[in-house]
Chain A
Amino acid sequence: MTCPTAELFELADGRMAVARAQGVRAHVRACAACQEQLRAAEAIVGQTAALRQPVDADMEARLWQALVPEVELAGARARKRAAWRELLGRRAVEMLELAWPRDGEHGWRVWMPRVIWTGVLAAILLTVLGPDVVPEESATAAPALASDAPNLAVGEPHEDAVRTAVSPPRSVFPTTAPAPSEPASMVSDALNGNTEVPAAAPRHVRGWHHLASATNSATATPGQALLACGAIVDLTEANATLVHNLSADAEIELDDGRVVVRVPKLPPGGRLVVRTADAVVQVKGTAFAVDKRNKDWTTVEVFEGVVQVDAAGHGREPQAGRETIFVHAGETRRIESVDAYLRRQIAELDDAVAAGRLEVGHEKAQRYLMVAGADGPDVDDVQLRLGGILSRTGHLAEAARLYRTVADGDGPVYARQNALAVLAVLHRDADRADAERATWDEYLVRFPDGLYVREALVRQVELGCGRADGAVEQARRTLASRFGQEPTAAAVLDRCRSR
């Protein structure tokens, strides 16, 4: 028969109940094999005591000395925990502790909390990100960023950016910031504390208080927000709107104040954009600050990496006609507002023309017209200035077309008058009498009370001097009646009469 090994060992170990032990012993007495195995089991069990050898005092003392610092730390932790329990209550602390597996846990005690927490995070993500999901093309259609290009050489410093300061790179966040590889799935934003706004509406973030009031906020420290792409945004001094918050496409509109951003390396095609009224700042992985506390400009300061900055036009889109600049670590660039930029262009245009640098003036005028667009401010004035430059540089036909455009446009009356009068003068200088007469005729019809009526009448009389023309006679009479007392008009009238 097969000897019951387990029972023999239990019997040898002395753990078996008396009644059962008697039964087993009865069996052993009748079984020679079991007798031998019982003796072996007793011998084995008899030697188990030798497996627990005494610990010598030296080793005990040596090990304890190594453990003393940990004991002190454990004591400090225990006191800290007691303080928390005092503050939050025993149940709250235990609930928090239940959420995490303990050291040495195994089986469901390890994976169950992980499953629960993963579910909670997924629910938060779906709730917050769901409405913001945009077609993939919108992300892939993003313009290539500077960091995509293998060569990030900065071009010539251009006029858009006024270098205000160059300081050594400095870090605004601890270098132990959350690892980008970690799933940065939480979003912190709210509309001035109102989390009930439609999901599609932009949500404002304005400092810590509003962040704290948002149920979906995830801020490690006051004023900091963690975006889905893993970027940390310091909003302490900012009034901003979170437009997109996807893992590969985040967009912040900064209305005023200052944001400091640390962006982890984003995946291919990914980008983070910070827009102000003056600048569009695009990054793929860097640390930088955008400051919009002055109405006339936005300051971009880069601490790490390279940032692509476009001047912003209307709609906060990159402004056509203004160059893209790359701001490197340690640099600070100031991006002017459109208005400030245009004012500066006009001033520099006039300075250039006054100094006789017509080419520079021509470039300034062209840049102004490109940036301002057809509906921009003072476009007619600049077109007139550009026409003057063109005529002085011999580009008469081009100047004439430009004057005609202004004269026939929807600009201010004075600009249209000026354009038509200057066009007439341009014809005079080109010895095109018929064209000049026709232009003055047009002027008198369109602007009978205009600024240049006297000049128009004078030129009509001069050009028709000696001719029996009804229009000329009409001009003569009008000039005499309205401006006969003025020396210039009187002189012209005398000269033509004498002929």
Chain B
Amino acid sequence: MANASIHMLPTEVVDEELLLEGLRAGSADAFRGLYRLYLPKVAGLCRVLLRDVGVEDAIQDTFLRVFRNIQQFRGESRLTTWVHRIATNVCLSELRQRGAWRARHDEFTDDLGDGRDVEADLALKQSSQQLQTLMDDLDPLKRTTFFLHHVEGLTAAEIGVVLGEQRGTVLKRLQRTREDLLARWPSGLPDKASVRP
């Protein structure tokens, strides 16, 4: 079954109360179910935020925290929101540490010049991963907000819970993110990228 994707039940068809009851009782089956249910969501968020570096560690750390603190989950928000909040915290923490390292690293690499291949970048943008490439240039909070809203389907209020922000703040950031993406998106359809100056 290597490289085979896991068939996952959509979140909506899982009875969250039943799952929580099993988790609070310490049922191993319930933990396994939680893991299978939320692994794709957590993995997607971690990939978007961490850009494939340290993703596996972040996923593992997220589920460790979920399992350790599941007894403190009081059901005041959706389980999805709670799990995403933990995953976001783990990834942002990792990014902060990475940023500190990057700041030091850049001091040594500045003199080496910009090694980016402009042509390669352009070709990449023309590929199906164009959105991913554009999102990589966004700051982590914008990436998280856009991902949680447009990929995971969380509302602005739920994203506010995840990020610890007001709904209005989330909406403003979401708007700015959309405008950024539109401004940088090649005019017209993606296959018309060549018209971009």
Residues of A within 8 A of B (CB): 5-6, 9, 13, 36-37, 39-41, 43-45, 47-60, 62-64, 66-67, 70-79, 81-82, 97, 102-104, 106-107
Contacts and interface: CB of A to CB of B under 8 A. Distances in A.
B190 A43 contact: yes
B35 A54 contact: no
Given A5-B178, A5-B182, A74-B68, A56 B39 contact: no
A75 B27 CA distance: 6
A168 to B, nearest CB: 41
A50 B150 CA distance: 12
A36 B187 contact: yes
A67 B32 CA distance: 10
Which DSSP category, helix, strand, loop or mixed, fits chain B's interface? helix
A70 B151 contact: no
B26 A74 contact: yes
- Which of B26, B82, B85 has the most C-beta atoms of chain A within 10 angstroms of its own C-beta? B26
A106 B164 contact: yes
Interface of B: 1-6, 23-28, 31-32, 35-36, 39-41, 43-44, 47-48, 56, 59-60, 63-65, 67-74, 82, 85-86, 89, 128-132, 135, 147, 150-151, 164, 171, 174-175, 178-179, 181-182, 185, 187-190
A44 B134 CA distance: 10
Given A44-B181, A47-B131, A103-B69, A67 B190 contact: no
Given A48-B151, A76-B26, A82-B26, 14 more contacts: A40-B187, A40-B189, A43-B185, A44-B181, A44-B182, A53-B43, A59-B56, A60-B39, A63-B39, A70-B67, A73-B68, A97-B72, A102-B72, A102-B74
A150 B105 CA distance: 46
Nearest to A54: B5
Contacts of B74: 102
Most chain B CB atoms below 10 A, which of A36, A40, A54, A104: A104
Given A75-B28, A77-B26, A57 B44 contact: no
A62 to B, nearest CB: 8
Contacts of A66: 60
Contacts of B48: 51
A50 B40 contact: no
B68 A103 contact: yes
A283 B4 CA distance: 69
In order of increasing CB-CB distance, the 6 nearest A-B pairs are A78-B26, A54-B5, A106-B164, A75-B26, A47-B131, A52-B44
14 contacts: A9-B178, A44-B182, A47-B131, A51-B47, A51-B147, A57-B5, A64-B35, A67-B63, A67-B67, A70-B64, A71-B28, A102-B73, A102-B74, A103-B68
Given A13-B150, A57-B2, A78-B24, A63 B60 contact: yes
B188 A70 contact: no
Taking each of B36, B64, B82, B129, which has the highest tally of chain A beta carbons within 10 Å of its own beta carbon?
B64
Given A43-B190, A63-B59, A107 B164 contact: yes
Contact of B71 (A54, A71, A81): A81
A67 B35 contact: yes
Contacts of A71: 28, 31-32, 67
B56 A63 contact: yes
Contacts of A60: 6, 36, 39
B44 A51 contact: yes
Contacts of B85: 104
Nearest to B129: A50
A40 B185 contact: yes
Contact of A54 (B36, B40, B67): B40
A52 B63 CA distance: 18
Given A70-B64, A70-B67, A103-B65, A40 B188 contact: yes
B96 to A, nearest CB: 16
A50 B69 contact: no
